[in-house]
Amino acid sequence: MNEKEFAHRLKPWLDRSAADVGELQATRLKAARLRALEAAQEPVRLLGLVTVSAGTARTLRYSVVQPTLLWLPLAALLAALAFQSLRAPDPGEIDAQLLTQDLPLNAYLDRDFRAWLHEPQG
Partner 1 sequence: MVARTAGLIAALVLLVLAPGTHARDLKTPQTPWYNLSSEQQRVLAPVASEWDRMPGYQQQRLLGAARRYPDMDPTHQQRFEQRIREWASMTPDQRKAARETFEGLRRLPPEKQYELRERWLRRHPNEGRYPR
Phi-psi sector, 48: left (phi>0), alpha (psi -120 to 50), beta: left
Q: Nearest Cα to 55, choosing from 68, 44, 69, 66?
A: 44
Distances from the Cα of 51 to the Cα of 46, 58, 80, 114, angstroms: 6, 13, 35, 60
C-beta of 57: minimal distance to partner 1 in Å? 17
- Tell me how far apart the alpha carbons of residues 82 and 97 are, in angstroms, rounded to a whole number: 24
Within residues 38-67, the interface with partner 1 by CB under 8 A covers 66
* For partner 1, the closer CB: 1 or 74: 74
Query: In the complex, what is the shortest distance from the CB of residue 92 to partner 1, in angstroms, rounded to a whole number?
Result: 2
Residues within window 85-114 making contact with partner 1, judged by CB under 8 A = 90-110, 112-114
In the complex, least distance from residue 101 CB atom to partner 1, rounded to whole angstroms? 7
Summarize as ranges the residues that interact with partner 1 (CB under 8 A): 66, 69-74, 76-77, 80-81, 90-110, 112-114, 116-117, 121
